[in-house]
Structure 1
Amino acid sequence: MVAKIQVTGLRDFQRQLKAMDAGLPKQLRLALNEASKVVVDHAAARMPSRTGRAKASLKARSTQRTARVALGGNRAPYAPWLDFGGEGRRKGRPAARPFIKAGRYVYPALDVKRDQVTEIMSEALTQLARDAGFEVG
């Protein structure tokens, strides 16, 4: 399951920003990270913790056109299992955990915070357009 918030025209907007000033697309990426961070914070607050590595593995990641939430990695390879469940019978993991396709933490956090993410993105894109000299109505 991939939950998306799509901004129509973002690719063209990013190209225009780059044509005006090479540093502006970086600001766009930072705005996407800020929106992702809202989801990360909400999910991390609800994730169980023994060592804190699974919570620490939740990261906001973005490119100039995409925002993502990363979970797991080398320090907490079990983190996706915590969120989605599954077989679990591997070294270092407890018994099976019921599989939930929509997850327990990340996707529900996006569902809860969708309006706030949309608002952050809207404000950031509007401000970025103003900074670039676009007329915003």
Structure 2
Amino acid sequence: MVDSKIQIEDLNKIGRALRAVDKEAPKGLRIALNSGADLLVEHTRPKIPSRSGAARRSLVARSTRTSARVAVGGKKAPWFPWLDFGGEGRIKGRPAAREFIKEGRYVYPTLAEIRPKIETQLQGALSAVISSAGLVED
């Protein structure tokens, strides 16, 4: 299965250092982390089949100062896990059976495909946040 996490070493230390400089500075971390998740959303959305567009729209980036993630499905597209991974779907009101693929069809394969781009994006965004706070000399 695809490694679903991109770990950033000492992210908590970076957050504490930014907070020591300025209480508003750690907010930049959330924005920087979101940029990586946004990149995944941008590359995955066109691959998702669409009838009404609800499944595509349900794919969103979410982040905090310590983590970023991509959320899918929810109340507006509760069938998204079936669409991505497949499964039996034999319960009344659910769609027909679909071949189960452990790695998924859209999100995780796209993550594996563009992982280097996401890592580069995160490095640049985090460097910019740290530089703008004055924690690194030019």
Report the TM-score when normalising by structure 2.
0.92
Q: Distance in 2 between matches of 1:11 and 1:130?
A: 17
Q: Distance in 1 between matches of 2:31 and 2:91?
A: 37
Identity %: 50
1:92/1:33 Cα in 2 relative to 1: closer, same or farther (>3 Å)?
farther
Counterpart position of 1:110: 111
1:94/1:27 Cα in 2 relative to 1: closer, same or farther (>3 Å)?
same
Output the amino acid matched with 1:21.
D
Instruction: Provide structure 1 residue ranges, at least 5 long, that are not aligned to the other structure.
Output: none
Cα distance, 1:96 vs structure 2? 1.0
Task: Tell me, yes or no, if the aligned pair for 2:26 and 2:65 is still in contact at 8 Å.
Answer: yes
Specify the SS of the correspondent of 2:62: strand
Instruction: Provide structure 2 residue ranges, at least 5 long, that are not aligned to the other structure.
Output: none
1:92/1:37 Cα in 2 relative to 1: closer, same or farther (>3 Å)?
farther
Give the ranges of 4+ consecutive aligned residues of structure 1 lying more than 3 Å apart after TM superposition: none
**CA-atom RMSD in angstroms:** 1.4
Cα distance, 1:92 vs structure 2? 3.8
Specify the SS of the correspondent of 1:61: strand
Output the amino acid matched with 1:125.
L
Report the TM-score when normalising by structure 1.
0.93
Q: Distance in 2 between matches of 1:90 and 1:136?
A: 61
Counterpart position of 1:12: 13
Equivalent residue pairs, number: 137
Specify the SS of the correspondent of 1:24: coil
Counterpart position of 2:95: 94
Cα distance, 1:105 vs structure 2? 0.5
Q: Distance in 2 between matches of 1:42 and 1:92?
A: 31
